[in-house]
Amino acid sequence: MAEQEQAVDKQLAITKIYIKDFSFESPQTPLVFKAGDWKPQTNLNLRSSHTAIEGEGDTHEIVLTITVEAKDDDKTLFLVELAQAGLFEISGYEGDELGAILGSFCPNILFPYAREAMASMIQKGGFPEFVLQPINFDALYMQSKQQLAEQAAAGKAETH
């Protein structure tokens, strides 16, 4: 009976998905379009953040920030940064369970929206189709937790 009551108290809902910030730069245009071979080096930077919204009870804003930079040698061909955000109503979760929702589940929900927006912007910038590959947010979250635990253990070792 207690398990049923606990399950009823847990709720997770998407309230809103939106773009918080978006920028596109292509400093080498129009000369970049004259170049023959298109074989840039691309760098991907990914991070997520979480903010509990004060005065809104169980509302949490999750922001997934993706930066993609394409370079040819040392010249930047394009640089795109997107902050894809969402408001989530999360209640009844605590500890590791809440951490996994905020650090893995919510960014995983936001990623398809971010992937579509990035691909569209890069193509509108005149560049060939760009597809972000799927990302395992569960593995990234676990890796982050492990790094924090190692840092905490290293900090304790230094104080003794």
Predicted TM-score (pTM) of this structure: 0.84
The answer as to CATH 3.50.50.60 being correct for domain 8-155 is no
Residue at 42: amino acid letter? T
Output phi, psi for 114, to 5 deg. -65, -40
H or E, element range at 121? helix 106-124
pLDDT band at 65 (very low <50, low <70, confident <90, very high): very high
Bridge partners for 64 per DSSP: 48, 84
Distance from C-alpha of 34 to C-alpha of 77, rounded to nearest angstrom:
12
Structure-token match 């109503």, residue found = 89
Nearest residue to 38 via CA among 116, 129, 118? 129
Give pLDDT tens digits for 118-151: 999 999 999 998 999 999 999 999 998 888 888 8
pLDDT in tens, 19-52: 999 999 999 989 888 877 778 899 999 999 999 9
Segment (H or E) for 21: strand 11-25
Statement: residue 2 has pLDDT above 70: no
